[in-house]
Each structure stands twice: as structure tokens, then as C-alpha cells.
Structure 1
Amino acid sequence: MEETAHPLMRSYGRIKSRPIKPRQAALVETLLPQIRAPQVPFDPRELMPEAREVWLEIGFGGGEHMAAQAGRAAEVLIIGCEPFLNGVASAVRHVSEQGLKNVRIQDGDARELIAHLPDASLERVFILFPDPWPKARHHKRRILQPEVLEDLARVLKPGGRLRFATDVAGYADWALERVLASPHFEWQAERADDWRTPPADHITTRYEEKRLGDCAPVFFDFVRK
């Protein structure tokens, strides 16, 4: 078998769970091909030349946060990555219902898309409430591995921001330790409220409201040096 550039890192769970609703399935067939991110190297600003900034959301779940941010900032191009087909179908519905023109979707591995992006092409990256993979033997499946941080540092502009959020205390400690070990990122928090209080531009989703973790949500905003 031919090896791919990025061997599968199981940073997510099931690819599909329940049947996709007919309307969403139809949008996956018709709208998704129009807004799917290119599967070859590309400059994101060629997708939307008038874009003031380009943002990336890794693991957008059902797409609520991505769509709301896109609706709030029409001058920003937002690229979302999600391997979970039900989540992709939900996100495409949000794009259709809100008439969003500034969203592109990668329905697969985020690392494949990141590899296609030019250096310093993003202003922001969101990784919000990813699968915590709580068992120690599964920690290698967590998204913020050193090689992923290197890739994110490459595509983020100096001064660009990486936001990570979780409601699992052990994952928060684990993630913070790894990002701070990277020479490319700086954490500017000065007090507990800086990570305990949701950022002013944060959009709470239904998933977050379920409080499935073991602590109140924490938000780490890192700056690309």
C-alpha cells in the first residue's frame, strides 16, 4: 500500500454515527462540492480575494461556532476541518440557511489541509473542545502533538492567535504544557480570569452547554511569536 504524507492520527472518534437527514444529505451532495477546500496546495486568499483575514477551525463539530463567527465577520474567510460526516452535514446546513459566502470546509484530516497552506497565511486558529482521549495510552491521539504545533506555527502569521478550549482538567494541563514547550507560542495570561472567563468574541455552542467534562471550560489564547 502506498504511504500517505500524513499517516492516520486517530485524533477523532467515529466518522459517522446516525443516518444523515435527507435535507442535509442533499446539501452534502450539492453545496459541499462548491465550498470544499482545495485538495491541492493553495493560497486561501485566492478563494476570497477581499478577505481581510483567514481563520481556521480544527474540529468544528456541528459547525455552530464556525457559522456564527462567519456571520459575525463577513470580511473574514473561515476554513473549517471536520472528519465526522454528521458534523459536516450539520455545518453545510448552517452555511445554507445563513447564506454564508465566507466559509470553506475540509471534510477530513486537518493536517492534510494545513500541509497545503502557504507559510504565514492564517491570522487565527481555533481548536475548541476536541476529543480528550482520557486514557494515557491514547494521549498520542490528542491533536496538539509537537509536530502539529510546528505545522500551526508555520501557517500562522507572527502575532497570529491559537485558541484552545476544553472542559477536561487533565487535558487542559496536558495541552498547556505542550504549547508552552513550543518555541513558537507565547501565553500572555496574567490572572485566572484570563483563562476561566470566555473571551469576549467566544460563541457558546450547544455542545459546550452540555458540560460533559469534569471542570468549567477553560480558554487558552496563545500568540505566535
Structure 2
Amino acid sequence: MPAMSHSLNSPHRPIRSFVLRQGRLTDAQGDLLQTLLPRYRIDPAAPWTHPWGDGRPLALEIGFGNGEHLAALAASRPGWGFIGAEVHGPGVGALLLRMRDEELHNIRILKDDVAPWLATLPDGCLQAIIIQFPDPWPKKRHHKRRLIQPGFAGTLGRLLAAGGELQLATDWEAYARHMLSILDAEPNLVNTAGPGHFASRPANRIPTRFERRGERLGQRSFDLVYRRG
């Protein structure tokens, strides 16, 4: 067995696009992580099956934060199935509170690194993928940690069904242009606003309180919308 220090410093250790930050977990959230999450959690090690088994359209939100946007979408489209991916416990707990209080049963949660799991999914299994305000990693030496990279863009394009939609948003212009250049180059994706152009905010994208606060401070949000050709 290799030494622990060797394992931690292995050159083959994948680069993650997130950092597990500490956050305040309320007693109610902690209780739901123990009692409710097992009922709605997706096991990333299990073979893929449709979570509802009825062929309903599936949408994935990567990095759902406190779940405000995902819960609103699920409430507005009860005939769809929504999968939310998030690694931060307080955010998952906040979503579980919304699911319990609003009686939302069309959400499943992946509380794990989403990239390895996505690589195991079959082609065309998702009708929509939503990525809102991913970590911009503004320092140049950290750009390799950005979620949107050519390989990951290829995975997103592969997973979308024909006509399916990829929606992204960021309030960092440099990251917006980084995403634009990478996604415009992905052959399975078509920029709905035209190559090199940002989109209008999609009608289904509900501004979260963090975005509304940013807008009050004069921060602009950039939307990108792609369809699977």
C-alpha cells in the first residue's frame, strides 16, 4: 500500500473545480442531511438508471448553491425530473428544507464531484443542463481549475439530447469570454445567439438573491445558451 503522503501528492490526482469551504450548517439542515438526503440522493458509484423510471425529461443543475433556483424550476415544471449537483453541505441542507416545505418530489441530489459521475452517463440522457455562476478562479495560475474546459464541454454536449439546451451564467466578464470561446468550438453545441455572442437571460432562469444583490451593486451578468445540434 502506498504511503498516504504519496497518494495525496500523486501527479494523477484530478484537478477539481471546487474547494470545500466551511459554512454554517443549521440544526434543521443537519437533521435533514441525515434523514431526508438518503431518500433523494443519487449514488455516484451506482450504474445509471433514470431516477424516476418513467421517461420524463431530465434537467441537471451543476452547483446549485442554496437551491433557490433549482427548487423554483422544479415547482414550475412538475412533469420534469431535476438533478442537482452540489458538494457543500449547507447548500444541500437548504435545498432539502425547500423540498420538504414545498413538497417537491421531482428533485434528486448528487452530493459529490459531478465530473467523474457525468463521464459514466449515457449519451443524450439530459434535456437541459444549467450552470450558474461557477467559481471564476480569477487568478491566472488557477484558470486550470475552471469548470468549463474543452474536455468538460465535450461531455456536456454528449449528454444533451437532440435539441437539448445548455444554459450558463456568470458575472465575471473574463470567465464569460473564456466559456464563450470554448463552447463555441464544441461541435455538438450551437450558440443560440450566434458565434461570439452572449444570449439574453432565458425566461426560465430565475435570478437568485445573490445575483439581485450584484445587480444593485452594478454588476452585469452574462448569459450563454447553447443547443445540441
TM-score w.r.t. the length of structure 1 is: 0.89
Supply the distance in 1 between the matched residues of 2:67 and 2:103 (Cα, whole angstroms): 14
**Given the alignment, which residue of 164, 169, 175 partners 1:171?**
175
Whether contact under 8 Å (1:146, 1:182) holds in the other structure is yes
What amino acid is aligned across from residue 97 of structure 2 in structure 1? Answer: R
User: Is 2:204 the counterpart of 1:201?
Assistant: yes
Indicate the RMSD between aligned Cα atoms, in angstroms: 2.5
**Given the alignment, which residue of 98, 107, 122 partners 1:94?**
98
User: Is 2:152 the counterpart of 1:180?
Assistant: no
Supply the distance in 2 between the matched residues of 1:123 and 1:82 (Cα, whole angstroms): 19
Whether contact under 8 Å (2:17, 2:135) holds in the other structure is yes
Q: CA deviation at 1:163?
A: 0.5
Q: Which structure 2 segments of 5+ residues have no match?
A: none
Supply the distance in 2 between the matched residues of 1:68 and 1:9 (Cα, whole angstroms): 32
Q: Which structure 1 segments of 5+ residues have no match?
A: none
**Given the alignment, which residue of 201, 211, 220 partners 2:224?**
220
**Given the alignment, which residue of 36, 42, 60 partners 1:31?**
36
Q: CA deviation at 1:116?
A: 3.1
What amino acid is aligned across from residue 207 of structure 1 in structure 2? Answer: F
User: Is 2:139 the counterpart of 1:135?
Assistant: yes
Q: CA deviation at 1:131?
A: 0.7
Alignment map for 1:116-135 (pairs within 5 Å): 116-135=120-139
Supply the distance in 2 between the matched residues of 1:61 and 1:11 (Cα, whole angstroms): 15
The percent of aligned pairs where both chains have the same amino acid is 35
- Which has more radius of gyration? 2
Q: CA deviation at 1:117?
A: 1.9
Q: Which runs of 4+ in 1 moved over 6 A?
A: 191-194
Alignment map for 1:64-83 (pairs within 5 Å): 64-83=68-87
Q: CA deviation at 1:16?
A: 3.9
- Tell me which residue corresponds to 2:155: 151
Supply the distance in 2 between the matched residues of 1:176 and 1:194 (Cα, whole angstroms): 8
